[in-house]
Structure 1
């Protein structure tokens, strides 16, 4: 069972739009395939429509999916590409107006423009330190790229800008890798791309120390969980409506809060209506039949299923191998604590 998601994942679109537009501009900045310092106007179309419009749409869909970071990042860089395209487009007269004031004014104006994105990108980088390695590297390289481009423009040093172009190429490749890691899975390919999680895994400690409890987990005592026991037809309807899978299953989880960092970014609230992790639906006829086939008792199966469902409500998932390992270890921790209470 995978975690409920209302929308398809918009991240691969946003990352791909960012990657391709960055790749083309970085080839220009790096003087690869053409003379260093040649006009980069070929990127204008991409900047308006792919890096701009398509990435903006991805950002809006991230808002709808409840991913604040993805929504803010994609929408912001869509704005960057549209603004950069507007600077390059002669109809807007921006470069012409700056040129009339002199070369130094143009260089400093573009340097200030890029400096703002150095700061913005650093903020995004800080927000990736507990996501995954691919995203963290993406924003680290992107910030270095902006720093070099900013310095190159401000000082009028083409070779510094060229270095920024080289870093931009690496940034584009990392963005493409992240997009591919989200697109390629066991459901559509024979392999997956690794993207190690950077979330501190307290579950690894819990495997060796069943008494260990995370600081975040201590706060779940006052949270509500809805548990619904349904028949096979009802869970099949839910599975078909929300996961496009026309078949019964054992359990479905519907989180009340969209959580991107398991057990970390749940809202800090004292409102009773918000102290709700979500709902779980269990199909008892399906579970009974499954237990019969596995020659396992319901009392053995239910704690495992409920633990799995609760982990989904807390933000864990298993779409990638690294996430599966983290979730499995967290389930082991909870089950060990449960079995210890039964002793």
Structure 2
């Protein structure tokens, strides 16, 4: 089961290996979560200024954050899943994940683990949001965070 991941580094600070590490983790997580083959997700790495603009414009929070995700399919309680597909069989668009590289570096240092682990954690967090997980209440938070930990551990990217 393969999904298409479109990666962009607007900061020009990441090396190819770092982007490949994120891609491999997301592919692993998508397979583990049973995401349909051919689904697409975009991952963009930005600086703090750019993520602050996005956070302000779309979330009314005028400060930088570590990761933001925009799902193409919103699932609410009792709602049916909507899959965008045209007559030519266009792929399912999961959405966009935007990660602040400076925030990831800062948090990796603060938590005492590698940048690889922090970028992986943030990308996975964003993907889980795209798949409908959330942390708006205590039970949803536990479910999402347990899922993150399980996937990271199974992948071999445990917290130090």
Q: Same fold (TM over 0.5)?
A: yes
The 1:330/1:272 distance shift into structure 2, 3 A limit, reads same
Structure 2 residue 71 is the aligned partner of structure 1 residue 258: no
- State how far apart, in whole Å, the 2-side matches of 1:296 and 1:244 are: 31
Structure 2 residue 66 is the aligned partner of structure 1 residue 246: no
TM-score, with structure 1 as normaliser = 0.33
Give the aligned partner of residue 64 of structure 1.
Answer: none
Query: Which one of the candidate residues 109, 115, 124 is aligned to 1:307?
Result: 124
Give the aligned partner of residue 53 of structure 2.
Answer: 237
The 1:325/1:266 distance shift into structure 2, 3 A limit, reads farther
- May I ask how many residue pairs the two structures share in their alignment? 123
| Conserved 8 A contact 2:107-2:118 | no
- State how far apart, in whole Å, the 1-side matches of 2:142 and 2:90 are: 33
| Conserved 8 A contact 2:94-2:131 | yes
Segments of structure 2 that go 5 or more residues without pairing to the other structure are 1-30
TM-score, with structure 2 as normaliser = 0.67
Question: In proportion to residue count, which structure has more strand?
Answer: 2
C-alpha RMSD of matched pairs (Å): 2.4
Largest Rg, 1 or 2: 1
* 1:1-343 alignment, distance < 5 Å: 217-260=33-76, 265-267=81-83, 269=85, 271-273=89-91, 275-339=92-156
Question: In proportion to residue count, which structure has more helix?
Answer: 1
Question: Where does structure 1 differ by over 6 angstroms across 4 or more consecutive aligned residues?
Answer: none
Segments of structure 1 that go 5 or more residues without pairing to the other structure are 1-212
SS at match of 2:147: helix
Q: CA deviation at 1:278?
A: 0.3
The 1:220/1:242 distance shift into structure 2, 3 A limit, reads same
Give the aligned partner of residue 23 of structure 2.
Answer: none
